[in-house]
Homo-oligomer: A and B are copies of this chain.
Amino acid sequence: MDVKTVCLGMLTDGPASGYDMKKCFESSFGHFFPAGYGSIYPALATLARNGMVEFEDVPQEGKPDRKVYSITDAGRQELQKGLSNPEPTHKVRSEFLATIWFAHLMEDEQIDAIVDNKLSEIEGFLKMIDEFPDCDCDQVPKGAQFVAGFGRHMAASFKAYIESNRDVLTENKPVDVKLAIGS
């Protein structure tokens, strides 16, 4: 599963341009599967070359032309192939944790700044998804509901762990094992 597969998936909702897809990555997808122009445009070019998508040039007044992509039947088959892996990965790449690992090489002030910044970032994220509420809940596909709930849950969990254990990094406390192990 790569960006190509996700683009195909997005196109099952209807035709879209690369720019549209970028916005979709920014708003929802990007939180668990980020992608920028540098991967979206090459992905679309490859998909078009292989007949998985078709595109139409749509001129606009006062705005640049749009290249609007649609999924083909071959594309739908390819998408099924992309979704058929029974062991999809789930990877974290965290400069935050890598930095904190080396806390013993850092000043307490540095550590506190990093932790504070990360906490407010998470709080911002939680606020954002709670302001954008379960509006038209019946229209949203079950998978999207599940994933959105997952994001909310994990962010809250992230916040709780940091708040309970940040003392370990600057004072001399051991980690709160109960919280670490508990559900």
Q: Which residues of A contact B (CB under 8 A)?
A: 1, 5-6, 9, 12, 29, 31-34, 79-80, 83-106, 110, 113-114, 117-118, 121, 130, 134, 137, 141-150, 152-154, 156-158, 160-161, 165, 168-169, 172, 174-177, 179-183
Q: Given A89-B95, A113-B86: A150 and B146 within 8 A (CB)? A: no
Closest to A1 in B: B95
Shortest Cβ distance from A156 into chain B, in angstroms?
Answer: 6
**Which residues in B have their C-beta under 8 angstroms from that of A12?**
102, 105
Q: From known contacts A83-B110, A91-B93, A142-B168, infer whether A181 and B156 are also in contact, taking CB-CB under 8 Å.
A: yes
Please state if B1 and A99 are interface contacts (CB–CB under 8 Å): yes
Residue from A34, A86, A130, A143 having most chain B Cβ neighbours under 10 A: A143
Q: How far is the CA of A171 from the CA of B84 in the complex (A)?
A: 20
The answer, among B86, B98, B106, B118, for a CB contact under 8 Å with A117, is B86
Q: A90 contacts B88, CB within 8 Å?
A: no
A91 to chain B, nearest CB (A): 5
Q: In the docked arrangement, what's the CA distance between A3 and B172, Å?
A: 29
Contacts of A105 in B (CB 8 A): 9, 12, 79-80, 83
Point out the residues of chain B lying under 8 angstroms from A91, CB to CB: 34, 92-94
Q: Measured between alpha carbons, how far is A139 from B71 in the docked complex, in Å?
A: 57
Partner of A141, one of B98, B104, B182: B104
